[in-house]
């Protein structure tokens, strides 16, 4: 079946470095892709989205890159801070109201 | 109160109990969702309501019964649960456009459910 998955279950970076979290998807039909952040004890929080007709979108300290040729997207976090420690999910909406979520990458930020 | 709220935050129940989870959204959205989140597994969509009408039931066992009295409130009624139902239950809401829910979702903090 269709899937949205992240490449690494965990990622450890030094504070101040840039983080790159990767995600692959199997179905090209999505018009959007979303990134969510889930901190411990909280629900997922929407970070940023990207339309399928875009290659890049920038937010505040975050950049999403979409490569439709290889069905891959990434979330880049600049100057990673301790507050960025969380689980990050990529997600793709499907027909109707379904959204397929990846399993998540846990980001650890070392001081 | 802002965003999406859920009560209770923690719940321990026996397999013969009946309990209900409550969700309320203050965002003016028309679509509401129940998800199950288990350790090391992707979020599992359980139910979706669009303008109070159920649009998705993702093959959820009948021991889970949703109720959506209006666009701001969503309940999940639980009865005769199994230990494998222990998980974090998340409520979310989003805008809705016709039959499409391709909008970002706003999640509550979840209810941590333990079935003993």
**What secondary structure does DSSP assign to A36-100, as a single string?**
EEE-TTS--EEEEEEETT-SEEE-SSEEEEEETTTTEEEEEESS--GGG-EEEEEEEE-STT-EE
**Mean pLDDT score, A36-40:** 96
- pLDDT at B61 (0 to 100): 94
pLDDT tens, A72-93? 999 999 999 999 999 999 999 8
Q: Which residue of A has its CA nearest to B104?
A: A46
Residues of A with a Cβ under 8 Å from any B Cβ are 4, 9, 31-32, 34, 41-46, 49, 89, 93, 96-104
Inter-chain CB proximity B55 and A34 less than 8 Å: no
- Work out the pLDDT band at A32, boundaries 50, 70, 90: confident
Inter-chain CB proximity A43 and B90 less than 8 Å: yes
Establish how many alpha carbons lie within 13 A of residue A21's alpha carbon, considering only the half-sphere containing its beta carbon. Answer: 32
Nearest to A26, CA basis, from A2, A60, A51, A50: A2
Query: Among partner residues A44, A93, A102, which is closest to B107 by beta-carbon distance?
Result: A44
Cis peptide before B8 (omega within 30 of 0): yes
Q: Angle at CA A41, nearest 5°, toward A10 and B65?
A: 110
3-class secondary structure, A26: coil
pLDDT tens, B65-113? 999 999 999 999 999 999 999 999 999 999 877 666 568 999 999 999 9
| DSSP β-ladder status, B111-115 and B53-57 | unpaired
* pLDDT of B40 strictly over 70: yes
- pLDDT at B1 (0 to 100): 56
Contacts of A42 in chain B (CB under 8 A): 109-110
Inter-chain CB proximity A99 and B107 less than 8 Å: no
Contact by Cβ (8 Å): A90, A34: yes
């Amino acid at each position: 079946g269709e899937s949205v998955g992240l490449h690494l279950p965990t990622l450890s970076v030094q504070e101040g470095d840039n983080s790159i979290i990767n995600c692959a998807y199997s179905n090209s039909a999505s018009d959007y892709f979303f990134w969510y952040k889930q901190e411990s004890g909280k629900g997922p929080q929407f970070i940023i989205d990207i339309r399928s007709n875009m290659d890049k979108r920038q937010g505040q300290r975050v950049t999403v890159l979409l490569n439709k040729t290889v069905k891959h997207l990434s979330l880049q976090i600049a100057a990673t801070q301790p507050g960025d420690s969380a689980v990050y999910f990529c997600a793709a909406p499907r027909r109707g109201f379904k959204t397929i979520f990846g399993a998540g990458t846990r980001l650890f930020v070392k001081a | 109160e802002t965003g999406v709220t859920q009560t209770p935050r923690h719940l321990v129940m026996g397999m013969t109990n009946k309990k209900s989870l409550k969700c309320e959204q203050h965002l003016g959205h028309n679509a509401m969702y129940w998800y199950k989140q288990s350790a090391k597994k992707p979020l599992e969509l359980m139910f979706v309501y669009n303008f109070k009408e159920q649009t998705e039931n993702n093959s959820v066992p009948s021991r889970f019964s949703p109720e959506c009295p209006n666009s701001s409130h969503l309940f999940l009624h639980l009865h005769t649960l199994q230990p494998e139902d222990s998980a974090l239950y998340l409520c979310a809401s989003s805008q809705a456009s016709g039959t499409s829910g391709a909008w970002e979702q706003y999640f509550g903090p979840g209810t941590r459910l333990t079935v003993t």
